[in-house]
Amino acid sequence: MRLLLTFSLTLALATSVFSQGETIDKIVAQVGDNIVLLSDIQAQKLQALQGGIELTPEIDCQILEQLMYQYLLLNQAQLDSIEITDAQVDAEMENKLRVIEQQIGGRQKLEEFYGKTVAQIKREFRPIIKDQLLSKEMERQMTSEISITPRDVQNFYNSLPMDSIPLINSQLSFQQIVFYPEVTVEDKQRAFDDLQNIRNAIVRDGKSFSTQARIHSMDPGSARLGGEIEGTRGMMVPTFEATIFNMEIDDVSDVFESPYGYHIIKLIDRKGDNYKVKHILIIPNFENDALENASVRIDSCYNLLKEGQITWEKAVIEFSNDEATRLNKGIITNPITGEQTWDMEDLNQVDQQIYLLTDAMEQGDISQPNLYMNQIERKQGVRIVRLMKRTAPHRANLKDDYSLIQRATMNDKRTKLIESWTQSKISNAYIKIDDEYKNCQFQNEWISK
């Protein structure tokens, strides 16, 4: 049973819409001193719809039970004197506001929607956020000592009916040897000079910052918006924000460097920790000769591998300069799952080139050297890819899918612990449920029979 995040745009929207209808909001349940309103359930239904979840006839009862469970956790957290710091509340508040802003189109529209300033919104929702964090911490402490053994995993798998064992699509794992040409001092100076010329065109010649951003900026997320970025303190790298908070409105910053390259910023607006800027990024590029030298280096590695003059593991150490894979035999970790295996959906999201390179390869084959663009770090290099393993579609088994079954075993044990804890706390808590919901088929026995 997962915790609900009742602080969201849909909560405010649901409360507003619901209060304008014919039905008057009412209390549908009480757990200790905490009450669940009908509007709370409506809010969660709207959130489910927004997330593409189909509303079933049972969803009202399911939402009500989840909310009552959250209040059981809160009651216990208060009894156990669990503490949440102001810094934790502030950080969570900012994260949630950021999500809402992305949904609604910015901080200004957020304030217009609520009819309140961000500061007023924070004051109103601060107690809600704190209660949620207390509930989460209570659940974390309750389940933190769960552990499983290999015997637990085997027993869980053996207990599953055959038709409940999931079908696993083809899974692939890959290794790579990558060499990125090094950016020289001259390359950096060239990028700096290019951005300085762009700044001069804006400041001295009166060119539009937005137009220059669209034409020149190498930040794909903001370039198409004329360089515009809205954020709050803590969202960006320190050098970026240090510049912002030392500027006046309409100032254009000097050229400065960050781990991503060289930047200039125009400050549009700043209120407290929140800001709106326009931004141009220029990433230092190496000369073509550097990429050609990288190709020669990886060609040499490829030939040594094909001729059997070097092992894969030794080649990774000698020829790769990719920090993410060099010390791990070149194994490419799936960033979506954290596993070393990939399915086709994940490949299409992260690295389509790998599929094109390895589709016709057999296990253990290596690709010819190819140009490679690391989309996460925005670096270009040359690489060889090795197909480490390819499994056929199959029902999950302990040999090929142990980590998957291990996670399922842990989740099963966690669910049983939560159910046992919940039932024990229900018996000692004051619980009242509206007659309209007393016929719900709850997972737990909230009402004595």
Domains in the chain and their CATH numbers? Answer: 9-147+410-437 (1.10.4030.10), 168-182+287-395 (3.10.50.40), 185-282 (3.10.50.40)
Choice among 94-103, 148-157, 400-409, 416-425 with the minimum mean pLDDT: 94-103
Higher pLDDT pick, 15 / 113: 113
Query: Is there a contact between 257 and 274 (Cβ–Cβ < 8 Å)?
Result: no
The pLDDT tens digits for 258-310 are: 988 999 999 999 988 889 999 999 998 887 788 899 999 999 999 999 999 99
**Average pLDDT across the chain, whole number:** 87
Q: What does the pLDDT average to over 314-322?
A: 96
| C-alpha distances out from residue 111 to 40, 143, 268, Å | 22, 38, 18
Number of Cβ atoms within 10 Å of the Cβ of 240: 21
Query: Is there a contact between 385 and 354 (Cβ–Cβ < 8 Å)?
Result: yes
Choice among 114-128, 142-156, 300-314 with the minimum mean pLDDT: 114-128
Count of positions (residues) in the chain:
449
> Is residue 13 predicted with pLDDT exceeding 80?
no
| 139 phi and psi angles, rounded to 5 deg | -65, -40
List of long-range contacts for 209-215, beta carbons under 8 Å, 24+ apart:
209/252, 209/266, 209/278, 209/280, 210/278, 212/280, 213/278, 213/279, 213/280
The pLDDT tens digits for 384-439 are: 999 999 888 899 999 888 988 999 999 999 999 999 999 999 988 899 999 999 89
Question: CB burial class (10 A; 0-12, 13-18, 19+) of residue 354?
Answer: buried
pLDDT at 449: 59
What are the residues facing 342 on neighbouring strands? 172
Query: Is there a contact between 237 and 259 (Cβ–Cβ < 8 Å)?
Result: yes
The pLDDT tens digits for 171-215 are: 889 999 999 998 889 989 999 999 999 999 999 999 999 999 999
How far does CA 192 lie from the centroid of its chain? 32
Locus of tokens 């989740």: 411
**What's the rounded Cα separation, in Å, for the pair 402 and 102?**
38
What share of the chain has pLDDT > 70, as a percent?
A: 94
**What's the rounded Cα separation, in Å, for the pair 449 and 446?**
9
E-only strand ranges, 106-218: 167-168, 172-179
Model confidence at 3, pLDDT cuts 50, 70, 90, reads very low
| Contacting residues for 409 by C-beta, under 8 A, at least 6 apart | 148, 152, 153, 156, 157
Compute the C-alpha angle 289/291/293, nearest 5°.
70
The pLDDT tens digits for 221-257 are: 789 889 999 887 888 889 999 999 999 999 999 999 9
Higher pLDDT pick, 192 / 125: 192
Tokens, residue 255: 């050229």
> Is residue 335 predicted with pLDDT exceeding 50?
yes
The pLDDT tens digits for 340-364 are: 888 888 888 888 788 788 888 889 9
pTM of the model: 0.62
Q: Helix (H, G, I), strand (E, B), or coil: what is residue 248?
A: coil
Amino acid residing at 170: S
Q: Give the CA dihedral 95, 96, 98, 104, nearest 10 degrees.
A: 170
> Is residue 168 predicted with pLDDT exceeding 90?
no
DSSP state of 81: T
Query: What is the per-residue DSSP string for 417-433?
Result: HHHHHHHHHHTTS-EEE
Number of Cβ atoms within 10 Å of the Cβ of 377: 14
Tokens, residue 398: 């302990």
- Helix ranges restricted to H, 217-351: 220-223, 238-244, 288-306, 312-319, 344-350
Locus of tokens 């141009």: 280
Q: Helix (H, G, I), strand (E, B), or coil: what is residue 122?
A: helix
> Is residue 46 predicted with pLDDT exceeding 60?
yes
